[in-house]
Each structure stands twice: as structure tokens, then as C-alpha cells.
Structure 1
């Protein structure tokens, strides 16, 4: 009975019951959780939180220093003026020679631009190979030349051989300010990009503000005693100082050189120690928090949790009712749409919010893809039908031995020549060329040159028939002769222009065949000055191109145009359908648009003339 009752409920009712159970059961269990378990959970959450903070501090420090390294790397290597000065004072004859005032000012402007609005940077020093120091600081507090042997940090820079090196807190000997402040630095050798010849050194001195700005968003109690050291346990920064770093140094040295979280005792007091190691900088951010600070918040947090639990229990019914309705509403909508699809309406779509990526959103998108696929398959079946007709035509043509036809036409040609019937000879030769192009070549795509040569053979036959009543003009841009186009596009259009535009006109006329490039497309235009088309005839003709098939009573013009239009749609897409224009008594024009980048381009002689 219970199963029958559950199965008979609608989705909204089921979701309402599930929501109430999911809210009520955890709240009921929470009342039996002991204070010890709660404290342990709070402690673990605090550990995870502090671990994320320490990792974020290390990541922010790494990103900030990496940004400065990348910015400073571009200064000497991609600034031709800076590079020229360093190359000049790397020469032996400039040893111990101080640059000119103009050169100092030029270098100062380049360096000063790198420290604009960056108060954490104390100074940038670019040291030439002769020891002269270019700096953005006041010249009276910086030595003109550096003595490498007096700088204990220089050996690390030299051994790095062009890589960036981070230097712990120190007071550079080349500075003469009275401030007791120590600076953290990054430095590297400068080498010429092409020859790797040593040109000097670049050094960036950073104030403690760099670290203070990164840790400013975190309270002192959250991080305890915070220290940043390198793999040699040398100090870079310390925060929340109760005792100096040397009091903690022994503990720091005992930690492994990796990211860890552990408990240790210092002076009889338990500490939680969390360390995060940066592979890129070789620095470790270490937080040491007294456990009694963590446990002091547990009682207040426990009471707050109980209050929140009562509020959640009171609101659970309303929330469950609201969400069950919101979640079931789109499913009901899709159910109704599915019923319509069952009735054969495949052009339906379900609206999906732009940011909805849950299961319901995925289901709605799947429904839309299903209806699109059904509609595509219907169109594909139609396209397959066209291809089957082409295959039947190709099979029919293959039953005729082309060589027999060619030999027979050649015999007729020789007989016409013997009887001096040269018009007949020309017509037979043109017909032979036209048959060879139509039957022998199996390619679906041919060059525009081949298409025009075949069209000339067809025009030659029609000229013999119509005489001076027919005039055909070719206007083709030279660069388009070797562009590939679909085979047998132009001949049916010219045939329609002659039979329906000029023949019915009675007085003959002119047909223009034009090939021109327009931006990224090729325009193939066949136009005539025959009887033309009225607006109603053009609309009827365009509508016939969209029907599945032309009726047997339809005009030959409609059948030829539909065949060409279907091929264009299959090969290039809907935007490349045939375009029809004209007016009654003024002729008609048929335009085919082909993407220019679909074929290979080769230069050749200009193809233009009259048939």
C-alpha cells in the first residue's frame, strides 16, 4: 500500500516530502551531537580555512613577484634604448667610466615608468657591466658604482646565471639611507638576447608593504604568528610578532621542505602549524596558531548554530514548498512539449535560461537537440533522394559506350567535311566537346575555365541554329579562371535564357555570362534582354525552388533552376541559394554566389569574348 501511495503521488508532492526529510533529519541528529564532536569539527574547519588562507597568501605572493619579474624582464631586453646603453658600458674601454647626464636621465625615465603607483617598490637598480648603477632612487643615497665583493647576495645571482633569484631581508651596501628597514629583493643577470653575452644585472628592492598588503585582509587571530622563509630558513617577512623570529627558528628548521599541517609544542603550549611551499619561488608561508585560540570560539559558535537550526526548522516547510514547485515546473512544461512532438510537431523548442546548467537545463537542451536532429534527418532524407537521382542518371550514362558516340560523331564530321557542309561539321565538333565534358569528367567540381569552354561548345551549337538572332557575351575576370566551381552550373542557365527569354521573345537577343569577385564571394551571373519576368512570375519561381519537388506540369525553367539551387544549398549552405531578378519586357537575371575560398586560385590569361 505504501508503494502504491508513493507511486501515485506527483513529482511536486514527492519532492516536498524529500525536502522536509532532508531538512528535518539532519536537524534532529544535530541535537545529539556532543560538545566534543562539535569542537573537533570546528577545529577541523578552522584548520582547512587557515590552510586555504596560507595557500592563497603564497599564491598571491607568487603572482605578484612573477608579475614584477615579467615586467622587469621586458625592460632591458625589449627596450632598444636600455639595451644600447648596457651594451655600450659592457665594452672594456668604458670600465669605471660614469655615463653622461643625458644617458642617466634617459635610463631614469625608463626605470621610473616601471615603478609608477607601486609604493611597495623601494627601488630598481640596473647595474651595467662596468659596475655603474642606474636607479630610480635619489642619487645621493645610492653609490654610483657597486662593489660586488661586498654584497653577500651577489654570489647567488651569479650562480643562477640569468634566472631570477629571491633574496631574503637585507640592507644593500650601495644604499646610504638612515632607515633601519630591511628589504626583500629579486635579481637576475642580464644577457644579450642574441649572443647571451653578459651585459649587467637588474635588482628590485621591495618593502615589507608587499607582504602587508597581501595579508591585510586577514585578522591577526586567524593566522597567529605568520612567517615567510626560503628553503635556507632565511627570513623574508614576519607578522603578529610576539617573539622575534629567532625564537621560532628552531621549530621552522625542523619542518620538512614541503606543504604540511601538523601540531607541535612550543614552551609547553600546543600550536597548530600550517605551511605552504611555493615551487616557483622556493618560499614557504608558515602560520603558527595556538590551539587555545581556536577552541575559545567553539561555545559561541555552538550556541549560534542551535539558533540557526531552530530558524531553519521553522522555514523548512515554506522553502520545501517553494523549491518543489520551481523544480517541477520546467519538467511539466517539457512533458507537454513531448506530447506535441508525439503528434508530429517537430519545430518546438523549450526555453532554457542562459545560466542554467543543472540536470533540468541539460534535459531541456537535449530535448531541443532531439527536435533539431529529427528535423535535420528529414531534410537529409530529401538530400539523399536527390543524390539517388544523380546516381541513377550516372548509371544511365554509363550504359552508353562513350567511345562509340565519339567515333560516330567523328565519322559524321568527316562526312560533312567531304560534302563541304561546314556548319554541320562545326555543330558536330561542338556537340562532341559538350558530350566529353558532360560524360567523361567524373569530378563534381571543375575550374571556371573548363566550365566556360564547355559552355562555348553549347553556344556554338545554338549559334548555328539561331544565327545572328543570338548573341552571347562573356565577361569574366582573369583571376577567376582557375577557381573551382560545381560542374554544369552555367549551361542550364544559358539554355533557359535562350529558350525562355529569347526564343519566346521571337526577335532573339543577347545573353551575358559574367564572372566577378565581390569581397569573399564569386558572382556568376547569366542575364538576357528577352521577354523578362513579371514580379508575380519571379515570386512563383522562387516559391517553386523551396518545394520538395517540381510538379510534372512545372516549367522546364523551374526544373533546371531547382536542380541548380538544390546543389548550391547542399554544397554551400542556405545563404548561397540562387537569386532571381528581372522585369517584364526588360529581360531576366540569375545570380549564383560561390564562396571565394572554396577553390584554388591561379593566375591565367583573361577570358572574355563573344560567342
Structure 2
């Protein structure tokens, strides 16, 4: 009876009993005082460090603006412009060498006179030629990196671009496409790549305030490291970045505590972190914390016995409720069976469990009921976006190419443009999402015409569809992606001839359509792995899932796709087969 009465006590009464026992023993401790004092001290430290960082960040932003301006001044320099034009159009080797020397001299003079020590070097790239202010190994970057910098500079169309992707390996780059100003022709004169010495830049902007001279600085651009101090390893940088989830925080790395502060460098959007040692701060509070821990240890020993009985009767049920919540959060909404029946309990714990179980059951029902509605909603959104497209200019362009090809006698080009135009009309058509098999075969013919012109004799294709099935309905663009998949893996992966066949069979109330090809192989349980995301879908894998779901949404869960492999009994050759299963419905 006593246990029953205790179980039926309200949660409020149980908490009151526990609080009374705890307050009676630990009221004399200084835990709250230490907590607020430590918090206030950290806040003061944060404000001081944040103010210092704000000043350093402002100076760093000014230095970056100066470098940005320097790039514009080099761009507009009359001497550099003149000799770049001459260098581009010179045909004599001696004349090109003379212009090259003058460009090099002008660049070196500009860097020297500007007094900007933050520039490591400046390089001009014009076609395959390079003019660089430094001949050291530092100025030699891999061809792949150089080509990417040039590509991104040209893509910017004359705008200055900061490249941080290669900061860890090669440093920070400022790139700009130089264009001819004379006559406002704006013809491209090449690409300028400016390497920035981040170590000198950070040192110069933080040297003015020695308050935290031993601080470590880290800069990130969209989670990619731009710079971190030599005293910080890459692993330490990752730890600081991942664990600093607020404006400031104490982070432990290799048994050393650091006080870390986070900010944003505007207008560049770079995140920066400053970390200073927290050891000296910890020493000042060590004695107080030890005293508090000793006092709390005595208090805990006194309250353990009194609180155990009460807590054990409460926490076991809360643990079970938390377990249910975790299962609910992981996507399992089914009610879990347990030995304890909460239906007879009238206190808050019983109400929590019964109401939570009821809520989970309702959510499970709602998810199942609304799944199909959500799919339909997404399909409507896609159709809404498709309705904004006007493909007429594509048709007109392809038609123009077709007539031009015919006039030139290029029959292959004419066939390709005609087939491509037909494919586009079907793909972008919003009139009907249900085809007959006859209409779907027209799509296949247009597609296979293009592929045959591409692969010639390497592609052998045959079609075997009974006449009585041609007027049966099929969702639009069901077979074509499967044929495309067969072509891709049957031809692009092997060098031999690929045999592809499309056949259909009447199974009474159902129709099976098979796309069969050699030279490829389907993984065991491919569709299940794609649906469960054991294999992440990409490219044609996404199309396969969409076809399967469209078939099931249109006709029911018993229909869809099936993938398997089969060995030919006569030749011993293995074939990959994609099978479509759908009901037999004729369109009148």
C-alpha cells in the first residue's frame, strides 16, 4: 500500500520532497555564487577579447580592401595596359621579350613603391605565357590549380575574386581578368594572379594590440580553412571549429584549455576564431572550486540516502519515456511493448506515458495517410515549375539546324536534330502523362536513332512488342530511361558490340516489358538498396527510383520495376534485364 500511495503521488509532490531534502543540506554551499562569478568573469573576458578581435578584424578588412584596390590599380595602369596589348599582338620574339621585360619591371616597381609587404608575388598569364615577379619555388603552383584560378577569373568577367580553396596547400589568391581599356574594347589581355602572404597579413593586423599576443587565429570560408596560426595543427583547427557552437566557449585540446571567441569578417563573410590559453584563468579559480567541491561532496553524501528511494521510483519511468522519445525521433512510431502497465496510474507519469503512446500512434497514422498526398503535392509543384518554361525557342533552333543540315547535305545532323526535337516535345509536353505503348515506342525510336548515329555498328537494337499491346497505356517516359541506362553501361563501359532488345509479354491481367542488354550487370537487390538509401542514388539511379514510385503511385504497390541478371543457355553470355510490371489497360 505504501508503494502504491507513493506511486500515485503527484509529480509535483515528489519534486517538492526532493527539493526540500536537497535545499536543507546544500543551502550553505557556495555553488550558485561560484557559478555566477565564473560566468561573469568569462563574460568580461569575452567582451575584452571580442573588442580586441573586432579591432583586428577591422584592420584585416582594411588590408584586404587595400589589396583589392591594388588589383584595380594594376588593371588600370597605363604602362602595364600598353605593354600587355603589345605583348599580346607582337609576332617578333625580340619585341615580345622587350614588352615582357617592361611589364615585369612595372609590376616590380609598383609592388616596391606601394610598400605592401603582404603580397608574395604577382603573375600574369596570357595564353601559355607567364610573367611573374618571383622566380622562387613558391611561385610555382600545380598546373591544375593554376588552370582553375584562371578559369574562375575569366568566369568573373573582370571582377576581383578571392580564392580560398587552396589556402592550406598554396596560400590565399586574388585573381582578376585584365581587359583592354583603350577604346573601351574590353578585350581580354590575360589573367592576374596575386598571392597574398597570410602570415604577414595576420601578424601586421594583430601586432598593434599585444593583450593576447599568444593567441592563435583561425579563418574559415564556408567551413574551408583559409588560415590558421603555425601554433595550431589542422586537427586542432577542426576541433575548435566543430566544438565552438556559440560566440565564446572553453574548449579542451590535449589536456589544455583554451578560451575561444568566434566572429565574422565582413564584408567577405569569413569566419574567424581566436583562442587564448585558459590556464592562468583556471588557476585563479582553482582554490574556490576545490572548496566548493569538498562542501558539495559532504552535502551529496547526506542527501544520497534520502533521495535514492524517491529518485528511483521516478527516474525509471522517465528513462523509459526517454527511450520511447528516442525511438520516436529516429522514425519508429510504433508503440513498444513493456512489462509495466501505465493505464492504472493517475499521476503525471502515467498521463505522460499514456498520452505519448496515443500521440505516437496518431502520428504514425497521419504519416501513412498523408504520404500519398505529399507525393501528389510535390508532383503539382514540379508541374507548376515546368509550366513556367517556354520551350518554343528550342524547337525553332533545332528546326533551323535541321534545315541548314539538309541544305548542306548533312543527313546525319538532320536526323539527330529531328530526333532530338521529337524527344524534347515529348519531354517538355504538359498535355498528358499517360501514353500508349505505341507512343512510348516513338520516343525510343527517336532516342535510338541518335545513339545509332553515335555508336554506329557497336549498337545492335531490336524491338519485339506484340501488336495487340501497342494501344495499352503506360506512364510517360517509363521505358526510355531504362534504355538509356542499358546504352550507358552496355556501350560506355565496354568496347565490344552491345546487343539491346526491348520486348513485351501479355501475362493476362498484367504486362511485362523487358529491356535486355549484354556488357552490364545489376547488383543483387539493387532496387531495395536504392530505396533504403544503402546505395545513394545519383544520375540514372534517381530516374530508376522515380519510375518505380510513379508506377506504384499510378497502379498500386504490387507493380513497379524489377532488376535481375540472366545467362543465355546457348551462348553462355550474361544479360542484365530491367523489367517493368504494370496492369493491362487499353486506351480507347
Q: Do these two structures clear the TM 0.5 threshold for a shared fold by scoring above it? A: no
Q: Normalising by structure 2, what TM-score?
A: 0.38
Q: Which has the larger radius of gyration?
A: 1
Q: Normalising by structure 1, what TM-score?
A: 0.37
